[in-house]
Chain A
Amino acid sequence: MWKLLQIELFKIFKRPRTYISFVAVAALVSIIQFGLKVDGKMYVDFMLRDLSASFNIEGNVLNGYLVCYIILQLLLVHVPLLITLIAADLISGEANMGTLRLLLTKPVSRTEVILAKFLAAAIYTFLLLIFMAILALFVSMAIFGTDDMLNLKSGYVVQLKSNDIFWRYICAFCFAALAMLTVASLGFFLSLFAENSIGPIVATMSVIVVFTILSTLDIPIFNAIKPYLFTTHMIGWKGFFDVKVNNDNEAIIGSVQNLDKVLQAAGILALHIFGLLLASVLVFRKKDILS
């Protein structure tokens, strides 16, 4: 199994397209950081305009923690598309090249093959997220410094103490890993049914785009189906950046406002991963490999 995993990782990281995602993430993060460094004050003034009407706000508002939050908000919607490029190609790519049949002539079970491929996709996903975390969080902290974080939500403002943020990011990235792995599982599952990469990649992207639009549209008719779309739960990481308050309206350091909701979202994503992986194993074991 370990040998199989090594081979799969070798195959993934040998292909130039694997690095497109890393380059794209680096470019996007750098562009956002550059923009905020040059013109961030204007952005902050705009975001704080209602608050500034009644309050004087002093301190390093545009600090590394806030910049990372802004980057994650923007990127975690698009990173799934980059993950799809690899995950949806793992089986169909081999089928396209005619190496899948050859691979299965080796003395390993089909379950081992598919699990090794899935694990390789998961490792790629985690590496992309770690790369993103280093750029978005640590580089932003180095460029913009650190301070308390003001999470400006549409209805209220949450002030997080600087010593109460880092663990939230660790949790947020773990949650994001679950979300991205769900996407990888979907792409992986769809790649079982095609003999070229384009079909499952486009199909996975289409599902994500359609589901994301349905999740974000605030139209009552779609609200009923939102809980059943995995894309609705993918933004659950934001829950780590909201805190509970006590009876005196003081924010409780170290608390999470809707922890049960966040955990429920994580559970739903984990169920998706398990379900899609199980379905992939079952389909692959019964599949008639002709290419």
Chain B
Amino acid sequence: MKKIIFVFLSSLICHFSTSAQDVNSLIKKVRSKLDKVNDYIAEGKMKTDVAFIKAPVGKVKVFYKRPDKFTVKRDKGISILPKSGVSFNMSSVLSGDNYTAIPSGESTVGGDKVKLVKLLPNDDNSDVVLTTLYIDEANLLIKKANTTTRENGTFEMEMSYGKYASYGLPDRVIFAFNTKEYKLPKGVTLEFDTDDTPKHSVKNKKGRVEIIYSSYVINKNISDMEFK
């Protein structure tokens, strides 16, 4: 009996350690793909879909520099960007080894088979509590990421890839995030008409920002000034 339990436990430990190794090596491969990019400037269009915001589609420029500099700027005009999510970048998540990767099974995203990996930060003071990555193992691409933070709740990123897939850079990113309620007293806005509800249908309580990238300029050593 003891022998059976020993064999069972040994095989269980062996299985988990092999899975963890697999996951770590998968993350390493994804990271080495992302590491091909030192910096980039991307141009694209941003759509904001929040129940209480009526905003037109705007042109944006996205700046990234390793290890963790990332900013989205509206080309002209006022930008309204969610506090969480948009400034969250996969390269910065995977930079360094300050996390523990846990295999969490398999799933599908947009019809593609993906591996689920949970990343737990080793730093107790990290704002990020948990990140779940949906990795396309065949192409070494992160298709989706769910992140839970202490300060800004949970948000979701879904990425579609195209001609920049070899760099691990998406053509389209959708950020989904939770929004707080918006209300201003009518006495402040000097509105005296009773009908002030948005006419568009509110699909859900979550906000969505979609960036469709049209071009990337990669590894041109961009200035730090762009992030100020």
Chain A positions near chain B (C-beta within 8 angstroms): 47, 50-51, 53-61, 73-74, 147-148, 150, 152-159, 161-162, 164, 215-216, 218, 223, 235, 238, 242-245, 247-253, 257
| Shortest distance between the CB of B210 and any CB in chain A (Å) | 9
A226 to B179 CA separation, bound complex (whole angstroms) = 35
Q: Is B121 an interface residue (CB 8 A)?
A: no
Q: Are A60 and B78 in contact (CB under 8 A)?
A: yes
- CB nearest neighbor in B for A223: B194
Q: Identify B80's interface contact among A51, A73, A153, A245, CB under 8 A.
A: A51
Q: Identify A59's interface contact among B77, B178, B188, B193, CB under 8 A.
A: B77
Chain B positions near chain A (C-beta within 8 angstroms): 47-57, 73-74, 76-83, 177-186, 188-194, 196-200, 203, 207
25 contacts between A and B (CB under 8 A): A47-B188, A50-B184, A51-B182, A54-B83, A57-B78, A57-B79, A58-B73, A61-B78, A73-B190, A147-B78, A153-B184, A154-B188, A154-B196, A156-B197, A157-B53, A157-B54, A157-B80, A161-B56, A162-B76, A218-B186, A238-B191, A245-B200, A247-B200, A251-B55, A253-B56
Q: Are B183 and A244 in contact (CB under 8 A)?
A: no
A14 to B25 CA separation, bound complex (whole angstroms) = 90
Q: Are B56 and A250 in contact (CB under 8 A)?
A: yes
Q: Assuming A152-B189, A156-B54, A248-B49, is B196 touching A54 (CB within 8 A)? A: no
| Shortest distance between the CB of B228 and any CB in chain A (Å) | 12
A60 to B194 CA separation, bound complex (whole angstroms) = 30
A51 to B200 CA separation, bound complex (whole angstroms) = 19
A218 to B191 CA separation, bound complex (whole angstroms) = 11
A36 to B113 CA separation, bound complex (whole angstroms) = 56
